[in-house]
Amino acid sequence: MTRYRTVDLLVTVLIGAAFGVAFLGYGQLYTLIGPLTAAFKPAEGLLAGIWFLPAVLAALLVRKPGAALLAEMVAAVLSMLLGSQWGWGTAVSGLMQGGGVELAFLLTRYRRFTLPVAVLGGVLSALLEWGWEKVAYYQEMSWAFSGTMLAFFLLSGALLCGVLGWAASRALIATGAVDSLASGREAARAVEA
């Protein structure tokens, strides 16, 4: 279970690298909506779940301890190296986000790769990321606004990370593109049964 094959590592790193590049564009969305969220900054939390996607996708597809954290850290560090507007804080965010997803699957001892576990991963990532952002970026934000932002983070983590990540993993598994991974082999066994 814990032993990585070359294909496991390659897919995990590929997921992280693809999202790391995509995150540069997604980060620009925050610049574009800045005027809209200036009046109500907590609304930015509604977009947070997309940042956690590499972690949940890697966990659901590769199904190895550490895959979520590795994919998220690759995405964060690559995004940072390519010029993310948040600089070194991007790497800390990757640690929080990947760690949250990792924790959810660890709680099941890496034996359950279901929608509820993916949603829990998104929620735990949101909680950890919100804590980091409160300290790093929003110290002056009132606790009422911070609480609202936390609620938005949790909702976004559950839907944009958990549900969307689970749906994306199901779609990839259905194509047969990941048949060499644990998720693909499990799907093949289910069809044979």
Residue 116 lies in a domain: yes
* Diameter of the chain measured on Cα atoms: 57
Is 169 a domain residue? yes
Average pLDDT (50-69) is 97
Name, in order, each residue with C-beta under 8 angstroms of 94's C-beta and a sequence gap of 6 or more: 72, 73, 75, 76, 77
Mean pLDDT of 83-109: 95
Range of the structural domain that residue 81 is part of: 6-192
Q: Is the pLDDT of residue 2 over 70?
A: no
Domain count, the chain: 1
Q: Provide mean pLDDT across the span 34-40.
A: 82
1, part of any domain? no
In a domain, 154, yes or no: yes
Q: What is the pLDDT of residue 1?
A: 55
Q: Is residue 123 part of a domain?
A: yes
Span 117-140, average pLDDT = 96
**Is 24 a member of any domain?**
yes
pLDDT (average), residues 123-140: 96
Provide the CATH number for the domain around residue 77: 1.10.1760
The per-residue pLDDT for range 139-168, each reduced to its tens digit, is: 999 999 999 999 999 999 999 999 999 999
Query: Helix, strand, coil % (nearest 5) of the chain?
Result: 80, 0, 20
- Which pLDDT value is given to residue 31? 80
Answer yes or no: is 167 within a domain: yes
DSSP string, 35-69: HHHSS-GGGGGGGGGGGGHHHHHHHHHH--TTHHH
Cα–Cα distance for residue pair 76/131, rounded to 1 Å: 17
